[in-house]
Amino acid sequence: MGKDVIIACDFDSAQKTLDFLAKFKGKKPFVKIGMELYYAAGPSIVKELKERGHKVFLDLKLHDIPNTVKKAMAVLSELGVDMCNVHAAGTKRMMSAAIEGLTRADGTRPLLIAVTQLTSTDEQTMHDDLLIDGPIDKVVMHYAQNAMHAGLDGVVCSPLEAGKVHSVCGKSFVTVTPGIRFAGGDVGDQKRVTTPALAKELGSDYIVVGRPITAAEDPVAAYEQCVAEFVG
């Protein structure tokens, strides 16, 4: 699994995204399109970025009945995305249906990863709001195993969980990790953060970096610093 830095393009229009990426001149970073940009700009921004040569992680976190997810995934797969995701809470059956929907006629498909517990959900909230007992760590590993058994390629998790996910699900099970900040950088609303260098040390396969790059004075230099620390 090639390590890479994925830039979270959390913008509310296609124009802002294209203006931002124009700063990178010839470079074609791997980008993440989340709900904000997709709901604002629709499938055309995905096609545009693919045509321009970017790899795209479409982060829409699907969670619905298996048949609905399967059909939605078939549509997303035709957009040519490289990676997309579902909530593991949708069950193994839903995740298997997602794989079926994603698989194209020629047998190829984008990588599919699962969200275990959102990093905004802490253990107390999981107990009180979701009525899920036990340590959050155990729940995250159980959901990761469910994803693996359903045939998914990996999970979104904290870099701090990446090592454990690899030991439970195997080295080739992909860990995609947000919550990245430069040493001494602004943490914002992220709770547990690590530097790109530490994420590498902890075994992350991909880091997802938003504001440390998008809000930087020099986004290209910030991206290059991430690559230097994480990919080396």
* Residue positions annotated with a catalytic role: 61
Q: Does 208 participate in binding ligand C5P (rule CB under 6 A)?
A: yes
**Minimum CB distance to ligand C5P smaller for 13 or for 67:** 13
Residues 66-125 that bind ligand C5P (CB under 6 A): 118-119
CA distance 111 to 219: 27
Contact between 143 and 113 under an 8 Å Cβ cutoff? The reply is no
**Among 68, 190, 216, 224, interactor with ligand C5P by CB under 6 A:** 190
**Among 209, 219, 225, 230, interactor with ligand C5P by CB under 6 A:** 209
**Phi, psi of 57, rounded to the nearest 5 degrees:** -100, 115
**Phi, psi of 24, rounded to the nearest 5 degrees:** -85, 0
**Minimum CB distance to ligand C5P smaller for 24 or for 103:** 24
**Minimum CB distance to ligand C5P smaller for 71 or for 138:** 138
DSSP string, 111-163: EEEEE-S-TT--HHHHHHTT---S-HHHHHHHHHHHHHHTT--EEE--HHHHH
**Minimum CB distance to ligand C5P smaller for 59 or for 108:** 59
**Among 10, 161, 205, 229, interactor with ligand C5P by CB under 6 A:** 10
Q: CA torsion 177→116→71→92, rounded to 10°?
A: 130
Q: Which amino acid is at 222?
A: A
**Among 8, 41, 76, 152, interactor with ligand C5P by CB under 6 A:** 8
Binding site for ligand C5P (CB under 6 A): 8, 10, 34, 118-119, 156, 178-180, 188, 190, 208-212
